[in-house]
Amino acid sequence: MIPGEKKATYRILSLHGIGTNSEILELQTSPLRYQLGPEYEFTFVDGAHPWPAAAGVESAYGDALARNCFSYYDGTASSAVDAVRDLASYICENGPYDCVAGFSLGASMIATLLFCQDPDPELQEAKSMIKSVVFLCGILPQRWESLERGEMEEIRPGDVPPHEILSIRAVHAWSPQDMQYAKQGEMLAGLFAGPWSLELTHSAGHSVPRETSEVLALAEAVKRMVAE
């Protein structure tokens, strides 16, 4: 460690969106990470499935990064089950985490794990090792029981009885200008409740906030949530 450098106090696991990668998410979150400072240690994990670059990736980040994009699963229910189990294994091996953050599909993966009622010890242990979550332009999670039947079925706010709404500390940053997954970030926030489910809107569309005032607001919300 460099003399005088602060040691990381808070650990954040970060998951990217479909058709991107960890390097891109590092770039997307660099303003946020700068505002959070060295006390926050981010770990970025790539998906296992090569995937075509999402719209705008090549023009924004160049051909080299666009040629190496991923998804956490291949679009099938069985692959989604495997991906969530892999995420749970990773958290159990490397956690606990003060926060798990996800952009788009990454957020859906995290929420799918949190809503999973499967009694499997590793799945439940992984859930217990997540102190808080940050969802950036999150999309809706998948219902675990449906995945195990080979079906893809989103969980929507009206589907969840009051006693199953999640009370984990959560920050939801979504954009009214998000045309790719319109309203999904807002609907995802509706699956969470309690005094520490905070919604922030931003102007970046389906991307990570980058306007200074929006980044500052997000950083402040994360600091307050994680330090509680």
Tokens of 133: 């979550």
Annotated active-site residue 197? The verdict is no
Annotated active-site residue 172? The verdict is no
- Dihedral sign of CA atoms 18, 67, 211, 12 in order: positive
Give mean pLDDT in consecutive 10-residue pieces for the chain, a chain of 228 residues: 64 98 97 97 97 91 92 97 98 98 98 96 98 98 98 93 88 96 95 89 96 98 92
User: DSSP characters for 159-209?
Assistant: GS-GGGSB-SEEEEEE-TT--TTTTHHHHHHTTB-STTEEEEE-SSSSS--
For the domain covering 10-17+24-41+81-227, report its CATH number: 3.40.50.1820
Catalytic position from the list 104, 132, 175, 207: 104
Q: What is the pLDDT of residue 161?
A: 85
Residue 206 CB burial class (10 angstroms; 0-12, 13-18, ≥19) = buried
Annotated active-site residue 163? The verdict is no
The residue ranges of every structural domain in the chain are: 10-17+24-41+81-227
Catalytic position from the list 108, 202, 206, 207: 206
Catalytic position from the list 175, 178, 202, 207: 178
Q: How would you classify residue 56: left for phi > 0, otherwise alpha for psi between -120 and 50, otherwise beta?
A: left
Beta strands in 48-131 (DSSP E): 49-50, 70-71, 99-103
Q: What is the pLDDT of residue 7?
A: 67
Q: What is the pLDDT of residue 219?
A: 98
